[in-house]
Structure 1
């Protein structure tokens, strides 16, 4: 179970299962922000009660309006809950290192849905999934940049791309242009035809441009890490999902017509053999397939989607429509294949694909794009400013000197305490940057950036993220509420574990004392020795009945029954053999106690019962009910703690605000 949701559930249960009590209520008519109640010197407001009340109501019928009685019960539970939080704070549980570490871990998780980055990322995930509903077919021409290309080289390549686009739009065959001019090596074989593909199978800039085109349209030159592309959209159609196929492969060797001819005859004979009614695909595959990895497993391949295998194989595989249908031989670079359709399924729902899509997006150029957008939005939202003159001076120093020497030069400058960047009016100095660069908390990958620029960009990113988090804590009510909810949940867990749960488990003397003081709660009702046989197989019912019908309850009866039937048929039946309370047992509660042997049917299952001697009602021994005693002792400790807290803290309730809240939740 995810620990985050454990604490959320704990908080709700602490609220919904706390002891109920009457609280001294006073009117409080303060002006301005009006508190619902005050515990000690802390004001508590209605929005917190409403938030927890709404979560508590999820365990009930939300369609029903809350009654006055239910409202009062929940309000009293809320007060008990806040009393425990207050006590945990006064005991310093919120200052312990263990709490701080745990709460920090939760904050990292809880804040994610509220961050700018999350909303942008969610948008990209959904955009990718929506694009995956289609597959598109495109051709392209790639014009690569020369080695060590300068700006003039880039412009020249761009102009060439524009020229080729103009020629294609004026009637030249796009695929012939690709064959003649494209720097993609595969263009010599496929004339730029990329076949069908879907989202996340091409670099992002290429995908984005291709999906924006209309069928037959040619793109403007698109820049990627490979060069400039011209893209022509050939077709678009619904995504057929995934298919599972098996194949038989006969390999060939390029430029060897003898081997080619022999392979073609062989695959033709195999195909003819497969047309015979008596032929078995798996046997033929094992005998003839030259794919050593699959021949002994019926030629089965993993699930494939459009764009995931070579086009020639994909085209034939996706044209198969009936399960078990076999293709005629198809030629690929590996040889000749005969393909059989094993299964098919549509594209999975978004919820199933979300993690896979997110993983791919975080590994491709979209992640850089998202981060750039996040930085831009943060800079605008938090009034970001930077001292360009200082940044240039620092860059020049790091360019002209080794790292250690550069730090020494900067440390001697009079401007090292000057403002370098500012967010929401809060300044960071050059010294702050140097401390950041000397810390061990950050990992900075240089990539194509110079040393100083990489560290400066990371410094800006970290400070903008920190500003966003502080802004959320100060101004986002939803985030404030969920943060407080989890903080209080962790504190309550610590307090309850210390004063109730663990104490009750370890306090053996307290358990016995509680048991002795409450013996009347721990009583047996009438009990019987009984052997209960629940039939698993009706075919053995008559034989088991004949065996049991004249038997008396004996200690060795279970063993005799097992040896007679279960050695040969372990699933014939199951046995319960013990002392049971008649009234509470699901089987024994349905029998009459005047017959030793009885047969009853429950939910279509036959049960045979052999009754032994009756054990009259009487008190339980401590060892017989220790688990229930501990549970009751925990509840007793909880109630005692709440009673003590009510004596130790002054509780004041604003009746007017409470009535207003009641009208809100009952929609009066």
Structure 2
């Protein structure tokens, strides 16, 4: 759902914030009988002005054409009944449910938890703990026994030493003694995190409970977060690169030897790194923080570099062999920069319960609701032992329609709460007195109904939320239309797709290539020697032995089939069979022995299919828009358009 939501929002350029407009406003154009107002067009135009990359879309007439096409598509979507599809209704409902969380929660409580979370991710805690495992739903006898065991173990730890006791009592079944190493915020359940961060270094905490059982812990150290580093790397992938190279380890060691000889890291990355996404930038990676990368080995090596400019020894990860250079080191990002990310994490974490509790209190105040429970004795009287067996049913003479509690104008009855009790019995819970069960379930029932009331009336009570929902409503509708009409290439399109390819073959060509050996060196004299040896026909391995040694790597070779965009080839390289001249490329000298020139060739349909589909969809959409303009009459108010242009020009 998330990916589809993102596409529906980001893929639509012309979503508006609008509610219904008044009839007194100027109409800019009409699609059949549906008016589109000047105010809507101006709002959308100004909202998206900074987002468009095509300068032509800033032209009012061009933008009006695009905006009209957008309205035509929405008209067609509703004409096809896409807004009535169960999948559309369900997805819109799910989105609204997700979106409304940002509008109904208590901002003050949330902000306090976000600040606390930031403070905690700014520091790492090193701790160990002892856990006496006991279920959340354990009976009172087992719960007390686990608690007493934890208390006794803590007393022993205070006298005998925490680590000694931890190692002795760990059995991996009922008692766990674990060294946790360093961790920061969000790495542990919230209760555990609270205790860890509130315990002084060297102290043993009091016994506390989480859903796993009873714990106590010892904090050994607290340190500032490692922050963020910026590094570049040279990567040799875990594959045999070509016929003249040995193993990836051998190749990376050759490159490292050239670094030791004083050659430039960035130049070597441009020449030899297999990470194509970074090679052209000298191997530079985006800044990253601890825990952000998939490779822990790479992360540890990067953070292990101390001084700017330090270079690591070659090391291996699951992706290949790497050499890393440190360019920058920064502390953890400022609070404001991390706040949006932290807010999402807080709302998904155990600490969200605090947000929920604050929300309920605020809603009670908002709707002027008394917290006192109504008389629940009737429900206590109709419960029996079947409730613990999850087979309880309502009595035949159950009083269904009797009023129970009112939330503003919505009356909840006995039946509403009874239905909740019937569903709740499915949950595995410890046995408790009936009055306690009824009281607890009523609180949960009332809170859920209170939140539901707020959700059901949120569009009426919050204009901003209503605007965002309207944006998504149209965006999702347009996504469904485009998916079914343009993006999905069905079997019926197969012949048209093939015909489109046949008519546009000149667009789908393989570039001119060479089958060549490229020799690269910062030593021009050594490279000229290599050129002579290659010209004589000596094998590359023999040439390497003549110009390189165990202690000095003068030349690195790359071979294979390459087009003009290949990183090893100079930009002005002449595609001609035989030995090339010496070029200067990426701060090094390059000579190329071209064994064969492969001319430009036609791509087969299957090889070009991805590009063909993309081009065909553009062609298909263009024709479809023409059909929509014939189906739905569009009338533009030229006087209103003149006013729009004058207003935009004066901005």
TM-score bracket, shorter-length normalisation: 0.5 to 0.7
Deviations for 1:243-277, whole angstroms, at most 9, x for unmatched residues?
89xxxxxxxxxxxxxxxxxxxxxxxxxxxxxxxxx
Change in Cα spacing, 1:503 to 1:52, as seen in structure 2 (3 Å) is farther
Q: Secondary structure at the match of 1:450?
A: helix
1:328: which partner in 2? Answer: none
2:615: which partner in 1? Answer: 632
**1:208-357 alignment to 2 at 5 Å?**
241-242=223-224, 349-350=334-335
Change in Cα spacing, 1:369 to 1:89, as seen in structure 2 (3 Å) is same
Change in Cα spacing, 1:552 to 1:627, as seen in structure 2 (3 Å) is farther
1:438: which partner in 2? Answer: 422
Deviations for 1:562-597, whole angstroms, at most 9, x for unmatched residues?
78659998993433425x579x99956514567841
For residue 559 of structure 2, the aligned residue among 567, 575, 595 is: 575
Residue 346 of structure 1 and its aligned partner are, at CA, apart by 6.9
Between 53-62 and 78-87, the greater mean CA deviation after superposition: 53-62
Change in Cα spacing, 1:606 to 1:14, as seen in structure 2 (3 Å) is farther
Change in Cα spacing, 1:609 to 1:346, as seen in structure 2 (3 Å) is closer
Deviations for 1:445-477, whole angstroms, at most 9, x for unmatched residues?
789982222222222222222222222233433
Is the 1:499–1:637 contact (alpha carbons within 8 Å) kept by the matching residues of 2? no
Task: Confirm or deny that 1:394 pairs with 2:378.
Answer: yes
Residue 369 of structure 1 and its aligned partner are, at CA, apart by 4.8
Between 483-492 and 46-55, the greater mean CA deviation after superposition: 46-55
**Using the alignment, how far apart are the partners of 1:633 and 1:516 within structure 2?**
12
Is the 2:14–2:48 contact (alpha carbons within 8 Å) kept by the matching residues of 1? yes
For residue 8 of structure 1, the aligned residue among 6, 13, 26 is: 6
**Using the alignment, how far apart are the partners of 1:621 and 1:664 within structure 2?**
52
**Using the alignment, how far apart are the partners of 1:30 and 1:658 within structure 2?**
18
Task: Confirm or deny that 1:86 pairs with 2:75.
Answer: yes
Q: Secondary structure at the match of 2:488?
A: helix
For residue 104 of structure 2, the aligned residue among 106, 109, 115 is: 115
Task: Confirm or deny that 1:645 pairs with 2:628.
Answer: yes
1:451: which partner in 2? Answer: 437
Change in Cα spacing, 1:644 to 1:593, as seen in structure 2 (3 Å) is same
Gaps (5+ residues) in structure 2?
A: 16-20, 124-153, 160-183, 199-206, 210-220, 227-289, 291-328
For residue 23 of structure 2, the aligned residue among 22, 28, 31 is: 31
Change in Cα spacing, 1:474 to 1:369, as seen in structure 2 (3 Å) is same
**Using the alignment, how far apart are the partners of 1:562 and 1:491 within structure 2?**
62
**Using the alignment, how far apart are the partners of 1:133 and 1:623 within structure 2?**
52
**Using the alignment, how far apart are the partners of 2:37 and 2:618 within structure 1?**
28
2:487: which partner in 1? Answer: 501
1:379: which partner in 2? Answer: 364
Residue 428 of structure 1 and its aligned partner are, at CA, apart by 2.3
1:338: which partner in 2? Answer: none
Change in Cα spacing, 1:417 to 1:405, as seen in structure 2 (3 Å) is farther
Q: Secondary structure at the match of 1:123?
A: helix
Q: Secondary structure at the match of 1:456?
A: helix
Is the 2:517–2:560 contact (alpha carbons within 8 Å) kept by the matching residues of 1? yes
**Using the alignment, how far apart are the partners of 2:541 and 2:477 within structure 1?**
53
Residue 497 of structure 1 and its aligned partner are, at CA, apart by 3.1
Deviations for 1:515-568, whole angstroms, at most 9, x for unmatched residues?
33335555789x464536263x646x7656544457689xxx9x9547865999
Is the 2:57–2:63 contact (alpha carbons within 8 Å) kept by the matching residues of 1? no
1:235: which partner in 2? Answer: none
1:426: which partner in 2? Answer: 410
Change in Cα spacing, 1:393 to 1:590, as seen in structure 2 (3 Å) is same
**Using the alignment, how far apart are the partners of 2:60 and 2:93 within structure 1?**
34
Change in Cα spacing, 1:494 to 1:60, as seen in structure 2 (3 Å) is closer
**Using the alignment, how far apart are the partners of 1:54 and 1:562 within structure 2?**
64
Is the 1:529–1:614 contact (alpha carbons within 8 Å) kept by the matching residues of 2? yes
**Using the alignment, how far apart are the partners of 1:129 and 1:483 within structure 2?**
31
Report the RMSD for the aligned CA atoms in angstroms: 5.8
Q: Secondary structure at the match of 2:419?
A: helix
**1:360-375 alignment to 2 at 5 Å?**
369-375=354-360
2:501: which partner in 1? Answer: 515
1:249: which partner in 2? Answer: none
For residue 463 of structure 2, the aligned residue among 477, 484, 489 is: 477
**Using the alignment, how far apart are the partners of 1:523 and 1:476 within structure 2?**
55
Residue 384 of structure 1 and its aligned partner are, at CA, apart by 4.6
Change in Cα spacing, 1:361 to 1:464, as seen in structure 2 (3 Å) is closer
Residue 503 of structure 1 and its aligned partner are, at CA, apart by 0.9
Is the 2:28–2:36 contact (alpha carbons within 8 Å) kept by the matching residues of 1? yes
Residue 30 of structure 1 and its aligned partner are, at CA, apart by 6.8
**Using the alignment, how far apart are the partners of 2:605 and 2:353 within structure 1?**
66
2:171: which partner in 1? Answer: none
**Using the alignment, how far apart are the partners of 1:441 and 1:570 within structure 2?**
78
Residue 413 of structure 1 and its aligned partner are, at CA, apart by 5.0
**Using the alignment, how far apart are the partners of 1:82 and 1:459 within structure 2?**
44
**Using the alignment, how far apart are the partners of 1:405 and 1:618 within structure 2?**
74
**Using the alignment, how far apart are the partners of 2:560 and 2:87 within structure 1?**
46
For residue 448 of structure 2, the aligned residue among 462, 477, 489 is: 462
Q: Secondary structure at the match of 1:417?
A: coil
Is the 2:519–2:527 contact (alpha carbons within 8 Å) kept by the matching residues of 1? no
Residue 649 of structure 1 and its aligned partner are, at CA, apart by 2.0
For residue 472 of structure 2, the aligned residue among 486, 489, 500 is: 486
Aligned length: 459
**Using the alignment, how far apart are the partners of 2:426 and 2:460 within structure 1?**
26
**Using the alignment, how far apart are the partners of 2:509 and 2:223 within structure 1?**
63
Is the 2:581–2:591 contact (alpha carbons within 8 Å) kept by the matching residues of 1? yes
**Using the alignment, how far apart are the partners of 2:8 and 2:542 within structure 1?**
48
Change in Cα spacing, 1:368 to 1:444, as seen in structure 2 (3 Å) is farther
**Using the alignment, how far apart are the partners of 2:555 and 2:92 within structure 1?**
50
**Using the alignment, how far apart are the partners of 2:598 and 2:333 within structure 1?**
60
**Using the alignment, how far apart are the partners of 1:356 and 1:618 within structure 2?**
52
Residue 616 of structure 1 and its aligned partner are, at CA, apart by 7.7
Task: Confirm or deny that 1:533 pairs with 2:518.
Answer: yes
Q: Under a length normalisation based on structure 1, what TM-score does the superposition of the two structures give?
A: 0.52
**Using the alignment, how far apart are the partners of 2:108 and 2:509 within structure 1?**
59
For residue 76 of structure 1, the aligned residue among 58, 61, 65 is: 65
